[in-house]
Structure 1
């Protein structure tokens, strides 16, 4: 059963390739020659002027969202042929407004566009990444549920002997399944968001917009050619190792929550020290945010204008000493947030771990 579930994408893709190759072989080898022989006396279809096709597609490509206007069949019949593309566009907008919630949900994940096509490399790369994500999920569930019994027994024995408690029936099956589900959701969303950003960034490059994508002048032509070779390998590799790291990180968090839930005395002593520091830190951040919103800033068309500079200077003075004492908590929280975000965004080559000045040192982003 496990092998069948794990290999479902492989069977599906092999079936698709077999059917596609058979259809293309029959179509190209039999149908096309037969069609050419039987249609020799049929007059060729006169195609429209190429300028008309160019005008239609350019108009469709650079069209912006306009207000949708309902169109009736009588209006379409009385419309000039030159304005037919405008009515088709307005009809598409009307259909988008009337589409079902399921269609809107899938459009929120990815919305197809007739004016954009993914390259063959990008299509194959994301297909392999999605299939590999499914394969990793099945593999981790099977391996950790079937081959970690000895490790779980050792962990149970260690906790019981160290803290002198009786755990009774101790199992991590639920934690393993929850960790795999959360990891698949996180990295599945990252893949689909990466596909959307790939499309958006490529359209921006076509228009010469370098807001999210660094300008080409920041890279040498030789480095662009050499770095782009690693795109497919880095995407799948970062996905695989990021999945491994994220899974174990979530698993450790769930195990820690389960151990804390056991109300062990040593854990409670540690929490009595850590929790007050975190509470004071968050209260301090909340007070500063509230003061900045209600005491310092004047609401003048969202412009930065201080009400009282003396009060602001006093808050800076007291905040200096508070930040010095609570700096260790801020450093730890900053390190945890950076580590967590880097793990979550590991599969996103369009998002650099480094800032804008240093993003050229990120090999994945450069690819």
Structure 2
């Protein structure tokens, strides 16, 4: 069959087996250059935004923390609460950025997997869950996503 998986006899590494779960090589299916470029730009953008947020976010947190530190220390002294630490805020920010980027990467990988599934079904003549071209017009997309109520 033209659309079956390619059979590899050699053992694969853990990373390769994970990638095969996302993208299963097919004999007559390859991503177009446009799709690959789009996904590469999305991956690079997520990488850039994540580490740019981390780099610039630490400075922003320090400025906000120093600005709000005096009122907080007065309240903490009166209530006998432990003093907040700036290091904990940095760790929370690192964890949040990394978790967000992992979620976005997962969404991109699953999008690639579904794109492959839909394209293979289209090659077979099965057009289930594939919207018509008219559904991708800008005005229709905007009207479906936004409501003025």
Q: TM-score if structure 1 supplies the norm length?
A: 0.33
* Residue 83 (structure 2) aligns with: 168
1:196 shift after superposition: 0.9
Matched, 1:361 2:137: no
Residue 225 to residue 142, structure 1, CA distance change in 2 (3 Å)? closer
Alignment check: 8 A CA contact 1:126 1:191 kept:
yes
Alignment match, 2:14: 101
**Structure 1 pair 146–114 and aligned structure 2 pair: CA distance change class (3 A):** farther
How far residue 120 of structure 1 moved from its aligned partner, in angstroms, is: 2.5
Separation in structure 2 between the aligned mates of residue 137 and residue 108 of structure 1, nearest angstrom: 25
- Contact residue 141 and residue 176 of structure 1 kept, 8 A: yes
For residue 124 of structure 1, what is the aligned residue in structure 2?
A: 37
Mapping of 1:203-282 within 5 angstroms?
203-214=120-131, 216=132, 223=134, 226-227=137-138
Question: 1:225 Cα shift?
Answer: 6.7
Alignment-derived partner of residue 118 in structure 2: 201
Normalising by structure 2, report the TM-score. 0.74
Q: Deviation digits for residues 229-257 of structure 1, max 9, x if unmatched? A: x9xxxxxxxxxxxxxxxxxxxxxxxxxxx
Q: Distance in 2 between matches of 1:151 and 1:108?
A: 44
User: How far has the Cα of 1:158 moved from its partner?
Assistant: 4.1
For 1:187, the equivalent position in structure 2 comes to 104
Hey, what does 2:59 align to over in structure 1? Answer: 146
> Quick check: 1:137–1:180 contact (8 Å CA) kept in 2?
yes
Larger radius of gyration: 1
Alignment RMSD: 3.0
Q: 1:157 to 1:190 in 2, by over 3 A?
A: farther
Q: How far did residue 117 of structure 1 move?
A: 1.8
Q: Is this contact kept in 2: 1:130–1:188, CA < 8 A?
A: yes
Gaps of at least 5 residues in structure 1 are 1-58, 66-88, 231-359
Query: Are residues 103 and 225 of structure 1, via their aligned partners in 2, closer, same or farther at CA, if it must alter by over 3 Å?
Result: closer
SS in 2 for 1:116: coil
Q: Is the 1:156–1:167 contact (alpha carbons within 8 Å) kept by the matching residues of 2?
A: no
CA 212–130 in structure 1, closer or farther in 2 if over 3 Å, else same = same
Q: 1:308-363: CA deviations, max 9, x gaps? A: xxxxxxxxxxxxxxxxxxxxxxxxxxxxxxxxxxxxxxxxxxxxxxxxxxxx8249
Deviations 1:277-328 (A, max 9, x none): xxxxxxxxxxxxxxxxxxxxxxxxxxxxxxxxxxxxxxxxxxxxxxxxxxxx
